[in-house]
Amino acid sequence: MPIKKLSNGKYRVDISLGVDPITGIRRRKTKIANSFKEAEEIYYSTRREYHNGELPSSLKKAYTFTELTEKFLAIKKREVKLSTFRTIKNIVNSRILPYFKDSTIKLITHHDIYKYRETLQKENLKHTYINKVMAYVKGIFDLAIEENLLSERLSKKLKKLKDKDGIEEHVKFWTPEQFQKFIMIFDDNKYRDFFKKIYYTFAYFTGVRIGEQLALEWKDFNKYTNEIIINKTLTSFKQGNDFLVTSPKTSKSNRVITVNKKLSASLEKWKDRQKEALEEYGIEQTDTTRIFKFNHRTPNRNHLNEFIKQACEKYNLDIPPINIHAFRHSHVSLLINSGEDIHIISQRLGHSRTSTTYDIYGHLFPNRQKELADKLDNLF
């Protein structure tokens, strides 16, 4: 037992309370008792309180807001993928920390949280983005409660923002007619044009996420079955001379999708064109070559986004410019209008559950009220 008699006749109790999961530092408590019996009581009562979660950790004594966010980020780093963590870290360090860093945690109120959100709204940020930021704010202050720094859950009355019309922000997408207007600007005889045409066509007719598409390798494409294996994603973060490739967003994102025959044939043509182009750079095309490798570099996703807007203006296409992610929305709209079942759509998108699909795209599904009324008419 860690009880030692001192030269003055008193007893020192040295109690080990395990290793802190965040810092990795061993936590200890030392107390002085007047007798061996008192020392035993201190030891056993302290251990009991610790195991029952009743003993405040010594690390909870005097957090600054910066230290609190550091612990929040340390926890998140263990819980989420590296790419997701980097996004969270960027938002916390650039958006949240500068505002609250000089604050006294115990004095922060619900009104202070509300005022912070108002500063974000004044920047005309998208409400979906503000809601994401506020989710991390909530996480940080929930951690403050766990650390006994606050007694009240400050964000409990704060509801998610909706757009100015009082409904969720609209999902933008292109109809097949609008997509055809866009795709007609490309000249198949030009290598750069052919690359962009196959890239945007693939995005429109598969609905894969941009990172999933850029990570695809030729071994993931089966020209005989017209199937594409989705099992990785290319992040926007650099690792050495290339971008970091990780597992997909969720376990359900690991999937196999079937592409239409025309798209499959276009991929075969692109493979031949790509092979010739890569040879000029002294690069051999192999099974592990990325399908959407334009030359010796990975395509710049910002350029692929900006090009859409530039092309719509340059060619006077008379269609609203959208971003790359909206090609995923466009694909869903295409499937819904083709009468596809929500379960099939959800599987194709790699959603964990159909409720996720419906939460995002529910308003695109046809209104079934008239169909119901017609059925009731037949029973009248």
**H or E element in which residue 134 lies:** helix 127-146
CA neighbor of 83 nearest in space, from 254, 234, 215: 234
CA angle, 61 then 149 then 151, to 5°: 145
Could you confirm whether 351 is annotated as catalytic? Answer: yes
Could you confirm whether 249 is annotated as catalytic? Answer: yes
Could you confirm whether 325 is annotated as catalytic? Answer: yes
Q: To which residue do tokens 């964990």 refer?
A: 352
Quote the tokens at residue 3: 């009880």
Could you confirm whether 275 is annotated as catalytic? Answer: no
The count of C-alpha atoms lying within 13 angstroms of the C-alpha of 81, restricted to the half-sphere facing its C-beta, is: 15
Q: Catalytic: which of 328, 329, 331, 348?
A: 328
Q: Catalytic: which of 95, 209, 255, 331?
A: 209
Q: Catalytic: which of 197, 232, 249, 329?
A: 249
Q: Taking each helix axis from N to C terminus, what angle separates 82-91 and 65-79, rounded to the nearest 10 degrees? A: 160
Q: Catalytic: which of 29, 138, 325, 358?
A: 325
Could you confirm whether 303 is annotated as catalytic? Answer: no
Residue 249 and residue 209 in contact, taking contact as beta carbons nearer than 8 Å: yes
Rounded Cα distance between 209 and 233, Å, is 8
User: What is the residue-wise DSSP string for 31-95?
Assistant: EEESSHHHHHHHHHHHHHHHHTT-SPPGGGS---HHHHHHHHHHHHHHHS-HHHHHHHHHHIIII
Active site residues: 209, 249, 325, 328, 351, 361
